[in-house]
Chain A
Amino acid sequence: MGRTTRVGIAVVAAALLAACGGQAAAPGGGGMSTAASTWDEVLKKASEEGTVSLYSALLPEVNKELETRFEKTYPDIDLKITRIVGPEVSAKLDAELKSGSLGADIVNHVNYEWAKTKADEGLFAEPVGPNGAGPEWKGTPYLIDDVLQTSALTALGIAWNTEKVTDPPATYEGLVDPKYGGGRLGLVDNLAAPMADLYAWLEDTYGADYLTKLAALKPKFYPSAVPLQEALLSGEISIALWGANSTVKPIKASGGPIDWLMPDPGWAPMNLGYMFKESDNPNAAQVLFDFMASAEGQESLAKDNLSVLPNVAGAVEAPKELTLLDLTRATKPGWLGSAQSEWKQTFGR
């Protein structure tokens, strides 16, 4: 798949269908097993269920926005969001499925390989709502295999401590500078597919020795965007790759010495949303899935973030050259392990 585009996210996303091989619907993916057949009935039953549990890798501020707006639209349904970062979510979901104690009705995460495998096994329900199964999604690259919704794109870039850095680089290439050596640069640990894909993209874009040059700066490593940002705020690191606009912005507004930019060319990972056929609240899950596909849902997911659909209010303007995470690569069995292994050798981890 051609992973880079200069004309916007939608065109890049269009390639996702091809990336995933234009898969036929998952075997057995015929929709809910216990949910009602008409949308009105789904809404009624969802209100009776009264709650929906979402496992999310979305950033905290995005989760808050999603919860607030969803509960305002559907006051009878309590949205409970559990943020799980990194690869732990797959281990947790496996344990829950194995022990019959599934805690999530719906997931919005970046565990691509796991999600693709389970989609192929027919574990997920197809959407039945007017938005989720509507023309903007169904049959488009945004709804992979009819069950995986590319519901969000995270705006990641360069963040810096404004007391330590006054002239931040506008590109990732500019991070390879001796002035950021000696532990001043913070990187995200290569724990999951999005990180692995970003590092692979950086090598593809800036040359095979880019990571070696980064490693020579003796950077510090953090497991996710939030600890990285806290280290920036404290001044422990001066500048960081994997800064997230949605979490930087409120801190900056409250006087924190921190700022953010999205480099051009840029890179962004997508979140995949999926619902379990067998969950405690399958109807409420349908309602949330549908909400995430709606204009309002997209606004909440794109607040200070990138947007999947075009013309979404409050979204960050994408750079002219934006590459989305390569889903073909990220779902290829064995790729992640081998990419992480090479990366560890480069950085001595």
Chain B
Amino acid sequence: MKSISEAPPAAARRGADPKGETRPGLSRRRALRRHALPIAAIIVIGYLVLAPLVRLQLLALADGGAGYARGFGTADIARTILTTLLLGLGSLVIGLVFGAVLAWYSIQLPPRARWMASLPILPIVVPPVASMIGWGLLLAPNSGTVNRFIRSLPFWTGGDTGPIDVFTVPWIVFLTALGLTSFVYVFLRAGLLRVNYELVEAGRTAGDGPVGVFFRILLPVVRPSLIYGGAVALLLGLGQFTAPLLLGSIKNVKVLTTEVYFFANAGLADYGAAAAVASPLLLVGFGIVALQRMLLGEERRFVTDGGKTSRYSARRSPAAVVVIGLFSAVVALLPLLALIAASLSPFWTGQIDVSTWSLKNFRELWDTPTAVSAVQTSLVASGISVLVSLPIGYVLADILHRRSLDARVRAIVDILVSLPLGVPAVVFGAGFLFTYTAPPFVLYGTPWVLVVVYVTLMLPFATRMQLAARMSLGDSYQEAARVSGAGPVRTHLQVVIPMIRGSLGGAAALIFVLLTHEFAASLLVRSTRTQVMGTTLYDLWLNVSYPLVAAMGLVMCLVTAAGVILAVRLGGSKALESL
């Protein structure tokens, strides 16, 4: 295996030899010095990402694999795996179709309606835990408001239940897909904006119909976006936890992530079994990360979302306004409206009676110390995590961006950075709980465990978004600064960072939004003293009432919205585009 100390000959030639050392010795030292930061980064993020997973696996494999025997010894494990696959693949297919349709229409929006292109990402801004509870209120088979409405229609001839049953696999798949659609949309829209319109016209002139243009021109160009977006959607679908936990458990819908949670939270916590049932998800996650690297190759080939000006000019379509408006209204607004109605009601009966509405639940929430402190903890932990994630992401993006570094070092950093996307948050949560309750780093019970978990989970986002910005910026400004005599630190502080300010704001916004929503990992690592909004909402669901849960869900939405607005103000208008 080639050693990283084998520096390029040119580097050795440039080196002076004041102490009469041999050139190979000098070049080795220089190469080591150049690689000191990347190697330190590998050690730090390697510990963050791998330690929880490795420790869990060692536990599962102890006593001749007893954890595996317990984890896979349950009678219905086959059904659980099958449901997980259905959820992952089903939501991927639906998400891809919806995402592609929306992305396609988004580039056909009339000029005055271009602002609507931001609407399909609204579901990302609504916390999944709040949105799933909203859907539960709307689509529960007997009491759901939408079902009641359908049954009240004159043509309804069915019974007194349904027609929609939100507690079953098909509807959980569908609702999961709606959330994934936004992710697919973001990636595909970025891909479509890079399509050269002249190529499309050339294809048409050469006799290609719409199908030919799609397969011969559009698809190859958006392939990286499609693969990346599809892979992200598949991983999110397979690792889906919130919907199966809140909706599926009512009707026996179990997936691997809920099994991980129940094993880790059993009366006598069984981390070995939890690690064992997480293994298929880890294998798929690692596989997808590896496959993605193989298919897309060098990162600079697929991180091109920061393209400057689109050369694409699609035909305008009024239908685009209708399709995007309808999707956004249904997917983002409908559950929010359900939460508003429930939060204002004294108790939720599925029927909306405005005469009973009041702000009592919000007052009660305000008087609940744990809820108020959860909002504070969420804000502080998310805020600190953003502040920690951005510099780490910046350094990692710089390592990935520096072609002078050994390719293997960059590959290792790239894989480590990508892994948190391949590992479901609940699995990380179990690993972190097990790892940080014991030496050398005993963090459980403090807010720092949340920060460590959050920073680890956000590594891919913090790094990729900044890397995209660096790719888009190119090297010329950096080289000009160096030629003008600026050192590396000054170049980064006074040239690079100000020029990617918008992307930094976007990254901060995205990380903040994702962290204030975070539920699955937080549920495991929280202690009674360190609750965040998502876990408090879950506790309210278990312990108090739907109306108070709805009020908390709305507070989460407001906090998130405030975070996005703040990031946009700090990062400029580009922050929203980056988000």
Residues on A close to B: CB < 8 A? 53, 55, 60, 82-88, 90-92, 94-96, 98-101, 103-104, 111, 113-114, 182-184, 189, 192-193, 220-224, 226-227, 230-231, 233-237, 251, 254-257, 336, 341, 344-345, 347-349
Contact = CB atoms under 8 A, between A and B. Distances in A.
B442 A100 contact: yes
Interface in B515-543: 527-529, 539, 541-543
A217 to B, nearest CB: 13
B167 A220 contact: yes
Contacts of B74: 341, 344
A231 B246 CA distance: 13
Interface string B413-447: 00000000000000000000100111000111110
Contacts of A251: 347
B350 A192 contact: no
A233 B267 contact: no
A65 B140 CA distance: 33
B370 to A, nearest CB: 8
Given A87-B265, A95-B444, A95-B527, 14 more contacts: A53-B528, A88-B265, A91-B269, A92-B527, A92-B528, A96-B444, A101-B529, A103-B445, A103-B527, A103-B528, A114-B267, A183-B142, A231-B143, A234-B137
A226 B543 contact: yes
Interface stretch (B23-31, B249-257, B284-292, B452-460): B249-257
Interface residue SS majority, chain B: loop
Interface residue SS majority, chain A: mixed
Contact of A235 (B249, B349, B433, B436): B349
Contacts of A227: 541-542
Contacts of B444: 95-96, 98-99, 101
Given A90-B268, A113-B268, A257 B543 contact: no
A256 B266 CA distance: 34
A223 B144 CA distance: 20
Interface of B: 74-76, 137, 140-144, 161, 167, 249-252, 254, 264-269, 346-350, 370, 433, 436-438, 442-446, 527-529, 539, 541-546
Contact of A60 (B264, B437, B543): B543
Given A91-B269, A98-B437, A103-B528, A344 B76 contact: yes
16 contacts: A82-B370, A85-B543, A88-B265, A99-B444, A100-B442, A103-B445, A233-B348, A234-B350, A234-B546, A254-B347, A255-B346, A336-B267, A341-B74, A344-B76, A347-B252, A349-B76
Contacts of B269: 90-91, 94-95
Given A94-B269, A189-B249, A344-B75, A99 B437 contact: yes
B542 A85 contact: yes
Nearest to B79: A348
Given A83-B539, A101-B446, A227-B541, A236 B265 contact: no
B142 A235 contact: yes
A345 B75 contact: yes
A182 B528 CA distance: 38
A104 B251 CA distance: 34
A223 B542 CA distance: 7
B348 A230 contact: yes
Nearest to A233: B347
Nearest to B245: A223
B268 A114 contact: yes
A99 B437 CA distance: 5
Nearest to B438: A98
Nearest to B523: A88
Contacts of A88: 265
Nearest to A97: B437
Of A55, A83, A236, A349, the most chain B CB neighbours within 10 A belong to: A236
Given A221-B250, A226-B542, A235-B142, A99 B267 contact: no
B543 A87 contact: no
Contact of B251 (A87, A101, A220, A223): A220
Contact of A348 (B137, B252, B528): B252
Contacts of B265: 86-88, 91
Contact of B142 (A224, A237, A255, A348): A237
Given A87-B266, A90-B268, A99-B437, A236 B142 contact: yes
Contact of B249 (A104, A223, A254, A336): A223
A91 B528 contact: no
B442 A99 contact: yes
Contacts of A230: 347-348, 545-546
Contacts of A189: 249
Contacts of A86: 265, 542
A90 B445 contact: no
Contacts of B264: 91
A348 B252 CA distance: 7
B438 A99 contact: yes
A235 B267 contact: no
